Structure 1
Amino acid sequence: MEICFIYVTSLHFLITLICCADVGIKGIALKNAQFYIQNKDFSCLDGSNVIPYSYINDDYCDCLDASDEPGTSACPNGTFYCVNVGHKPLTLPSSRVNDGICDCCDGSDEWRKSEITQYCENTCQMLGNAAKEEAKKIELIFVKGFEIRTKLVIKGKQLKTDKQHKIVELQSKERVAQDSKNEAQHNKEIAEKIEKITIKKYGLIPIGQKSNNEKSKDEIEVADVFNTIDINKNNKIEKEEMNSFITFDLYKDSLIPQDDINYFMDDKKELTYVEFSTISWNRLKLMIFNDKSTFPIQDKSVKAKPSNVFSKQNASFKRFHKSLYDEIKSIFNEAENARKSFEEAGKRLRVIQKELYDIKEFLKKDYGPDDEFAILYEKCFEFHDTQYIYKLCLFSHVTQQSKTDKSFISLGTWKSWNNLPKYNKMLYDKGEDCWNGPQRSTEVHLSCGLIPSFISVSEPNRCKYVMEFILPAACTRLQNIRHSEAIELEHDPQEL
């Protein structure tokens, strides 16, 4: 009862004020009508002067704030208030009053023209009806958008929960992967130690690890051997050419095992000089001791004269025993496999660590008061104009791509929300530097819409971009209240 009494009393007071005020004065707002009382001296709203009531709207500016001339153009700083009953009220600069152009839909700004109703057609009701229909459409979009937003909130919270659980799982996998990498590293070090001992024992140090003098000498020897085996001089070693050399006849039965040929040629049909020097040379040296000698040729389908290719000495060369040859091959294979295992273990660990890093980066960001924006993390959208393709990846980065040369320019990376607690402006900064200017940055303005999409892109200031973007996550209750207030229409004071 007490609340009802206060409401009735307030309404009665408002009606009393309106009845006492001269609402017939042109150009005053409803809220200021109480200060314009008939036959009573008028006090300027800024307190600068007190004038007789008859001085109001007399085309002479008596008040510094122009409040005595609300319906004329006498004061340069004056304003005219269009009531626009049936539609939204409007405030005009005084210079547009009685200028022969109908700015108010009710025609009140041209009040000194004869027969106002004929001079300015009153279109307020028609415009008001159209505005109400548009408001209903917007309201419907909001209602549907808010329903979608509610679902996004549920999905966003679930996504964050899943990510948090994933961290625990990945941390366990990381420990296992780290142990596996450590074990692989230990095995690699042992295998490489044995490999180094074997290389040193039999003089199989790779060319790249020798001193300059040794390198030069060994390269000459490699070239001599390559040219000797390359019987047809096509700068390649082929399998048929390998069959001509008794060096590969380990059992002295004039039969060279195909597996040995394949191993020497690294399972290739032919070898270039680079492949021979980097792959096959050390494998060939496994077949002889450090005492280098001639490299004889069998008299088979391809004939060539014997050639001294290892040194100028004529002592006969010695071969490894086949079992020793296989043993050394095995040592090299084990070392290579150990290196591959270590590399693969490292890759597996890095993949897990990268996923962990990405999840932690995701969880650092603010996705709105209800996590309604979380499901849109790193989702990308494009906007095309005549020159560029703009790409916005939410909570990540913004780019501009030229349609002519396809070049990319960074317009900023995610920094923060720019107007908390409203969550409708995003800031992306630290983009590429402008020529003789600042770093590029982008502010993304979010508003309610049913489908996430670009509306526009502009550059109001040099290197400062503004993007308009709609999405359901921006359909908040606060926005609905503001919208309802915006479309509320004022009533004609005389109707009260």
Structure 2
Amino acid sequence: ASLAATSSLPRGVEPAHAHLYARQAGSDTWSCLDGSLTGLPLSAINDDYCDCPDGSDEPGTPACSGLNLNASSSSPRPHGFYCANTGHIPSYILSSRVNDGICDPECCDGSDEATNPDSSVSCPNICAKVGKEHRKRLAEAENIRRAGSKVRAGYIAQTKKKMAEAESEIARLEIEVQVAKEVEERKRQELERAEKVDQAVAEQKRASPLYATIKEHQEAMSVLQSRENELKDELRKLASLLDDLSTGYNPNYQDMAVKGAVMAYRAWRKGDGGGPADNEEEAATEEGGDTKDSSAAPIGENVRLNGLLDQGEWTTRRIEDLANKEALDLLDDSMFTAGGDADDESADEDNILFRLREYLPDPLTSLIDGSLDQLLSLLVKTHLIPRSALAHRKKRRLGTPSGDEPEPASVTAARRQLNDASNHLNELENDLAHKQEDVGVDASRWGPESEWRALKDVCIEKDMGEYTYEVCFFGQATQKANRGHGGNVSLGRFDKFEPLKEGLSPETDAQFFGRQVFNRGQRCWNGPERSAIVYGECGAKNEVLEVAEAEKCIYEVKVTTPALCW
């Protein structure tokens, strides 16, 4: 018998779709919902025979379960069996699961097996109990969501405060950068002026006869120094040969000429010029017939040679330094001012004042410098000496050579100030760039209200027995050995949020942030680099729930975080 004959609502049909199975006016017939067949008797509905190609005539039986209905989109009602589940949530199940002898949990009212011909199958209506448990879980989840939402609101407030501070800092840095640019440009102009002034002074020095004379003398010193070194080397070689002859001399087998030369050399070595005492001593030895080999006698120190080789006050290093010193440094700047307004007499007087420290012992120079600077400043203020002369004194005290020629102290100072200004500008620009990057609005990374910023570098961990797993938001995921072996292993660094499904928006869907990808971890032995997928859900606190190695070197981590409590 047809259910349609005994009920206004066929079995397996949702009340909202009752009109689709209503009796047609003035007729006892019915049509398939896709319009493929018309004029079917009402008794054809749920008669356990599939008449309609869309299966719409059998909503409450499994007769049409063999049809491929997934491709059909013309039916105005969902395919499947409707479970009313009064006291819980209505649902649809596949038609094939109707009267299959199994109590489906989706149909807690047992309606899927209500017409089962097997009387042994009985599915009780447990919707009241299931509904109550479900509502309890929903209430608990809602409480967690509300608690997490409050924490998330705190994240948002914290981020807004930091963003406001950062924007204020950005405004300050922008002003400082602009000021630093102006200072840098001013220092660059000062360097250019200093280079022009000192170039003029340097050109005056090079054009002076004194500069040419100094260069000529330096060249002569270099040549003479080289010649002296060659002569000293030859003298050492000659003395070595004569030492060998003197120690190997035997008067029994040498002639008088050799004897005389040896006696004279021995006297020369002693530094006394070869006096009579030496000749008489040797003659006495000869007359006594002493044929002992004189090579056994010690030769002693070559006093004369050492005296000739002694450099004294003017050491080779000192001479070389003087010969190699830049000639421009040997000329007093005060004699070659760029303005050319100082006469010779005042320049000489300036030289005496400025070089006063050169005539004093080193311990007194530091004591006299401060007083001398005060005196010279007073003389400049009273116009007794030109201001440029005082600048040249400072230049001699502070200047350092660079390159092939020494750089004037004023240029060095200007260049140093420019470098300092440029470095300061670079530091400010870098700070500004970092601050601007921090306040950048990117909902796909930081959330619609930048709530995820508050979790940057926040780390959570869970002890799983053999290992402790740590996840740092926007940082690194790490596996830590608990038994003192293996050390820490990187499971990857944060790469991106990967939505759980397509079409999710970071502006409106919390689940857009439900999955985080960590890549480029430590490579597995004979395998790929480790990586981790972090699945998140709403929670009142940040916490790791569980960790599993889903595939080789690929870890799945489940966490809770208030950032997902929207």
> What TM-score, normalized by structure 1, do the two folds share?
0.51
- Counterpart contact for 2:447–2:507, Cα < 8 Å: no
Alignment match, 1:87: 88
> Which amino acid counterpart does residue 352 of structure 1 have in structure 2?
L
In the alignment, is the contact (CA less than 8 A) between 1:373 and 1:473 conserved in 2? no
Q: Which residue of structure 2 aligns with residue 380 of structure 1? A: 457
- Paired position in structure 1 for 2:124: 121
Q: 1:310-354 CA distances to partner (integer Å, 9 max, x unpaired)?
A: xxxxxxxxxxx9949999785339799887766554443333212
| Shift in alpha-carbon separation, 1:347–1:449, aligned structure 2, 3 A | farther
Amino acid paired to 1:419: S
Q: Deviations over 1:343-401 (max 9, x none)?
A: 554443333212211222233314599963257267135577989866542xxxx7666
- In 2, distance between residues paired with 1:30 and 1:457? 45
| 3-state secondary structure, aligned to 2:50 | coil
Q: What is aligned with 1:289? A: 322
| Paired residue secondary structure (1:412) | strand
1:85 and 1:116 mapped to 2: Cα distance? Answer: 23
- Choose 447-456 or 99-108, whichever is displaced more: 447-456
User: What do residues 126-156 of structure 1 show as CA deviations (whole Å, max 9, x unaligned)?
Assistant: 1100011111112222333344444444444
For the aligned residue pairs, the C-alpha RMSD in angstroms reads: 5.8
Is 1:29 aligned with 2:14?
yes
Superposed, which structure 2 residues align to 1:92-491 within 5 Å?
Answer: 92-103=93-104, 104-113=107-116, 119-181=122-184, 288-290=321-323, 323=358, 330-332=398-400, 345-367=421-443, 372-373=449-450, 376=453, 379-381=456-458, 391-393=472-474, 406=489, 412=495, 419=505, 421-424=507-510, 425=512, 448-452=538-542, 471-476=561-566
Residue 49 of structure 2 aligns to a residue whose secondary structure is: coil
CA distance in 1, matches of 2:58, 2:158: 59
Matched residue type, 1:32:
H
Distance in 2 (alpha carbons) for counterparts of 1:407 and 1:48: 62
Q: Which of 53, 70, 76 lines up with 1:64 in the alignment?
A: 53
1:235 match: none
2:110 maps to a residue whose letter is G
Amino acid at match of 1:360: Q
CA distance in 1, matches of 2:504, 2:22: 47
* Contact residue 174 and residue 353 of structure 1 kept, 8 A: yes
CA distance in 2, matches of 1:127, 1:111: 19
Preserved CA contact (<8 Å) 1:401 1:408: yes
Shift of 1:122: 2.2
CA distance in 2, matches of 1:387, 1:47: 63
Which residue does 2:30 correspond to in 1?
Answer: 42
Q: Which has a greater percent of helix?
A: 2
Amino acid at match of 1:53: L
Give the Å deviation of 1:84. Answer: 1.3
Alpha-carbon separation, structure 1, partners of 2:498 and 2:417 = 41
Kept in 1, the 8 Å contact 2:103–2:123? The answer is yes
Q: What is the alpha-carbon distance in structure 2 between the residues aligned to residue 110 and residue 412 of structure 1? A: 50
Preserved CA contact (<8 Å) 1:449 1:475: yes
The AA in structure 1 aligned to 2:12 is: G
Q: Which has the larger radius of gyration?
A: 2
Q: Secondary structure at the match of 1:290?
A: helix
Match of 1:171, SS state, is helix
* Matched-pair contact (CA < 8 Å) for 2:491–2:519: no
2:448 touches 2:507 (CA, 8 Å); kept in 1? no
* CA-CA distance at 1:100 after TM superposition: 1.0
**Quick one: structure 1 residues 109 and 421, their matched pair in 2 at CA, closer, same or farther if it must change by over 3 Å?**
same
TM-score normalised over the length of structure 2: 0.46
Change (3 A) 1:458 1:323: farther
Aligned residue-pair number: 344
SS of structure 1 residue aligned to 2:115: coil
Residues 62 and 95 in structure 2, CA contact (< 8 A), matched pair in contact too: yes
Contact between 2:184 and 2:418, CA under 8 Å: does it hold in 1?
A: yes
Answer with 62-71 or 125-134: which moved more: 62-71
Output the CA distance in 2 between the equivalents of 1:151 and 1:48: 59
Separation in structure 2 between the aligned mates of residue 362 and residue 392 of structure 1, nearest angstrom: 16
Ranked by relative contact order (alpha carbons within 8 Å, sequence separation 6 or more), the top structure is: 1
SS of 1:125's equivalent? helix
* Closer/same/farther in 2, CA of residues 249 and 348 from structure 1, 3 Å limit: farther
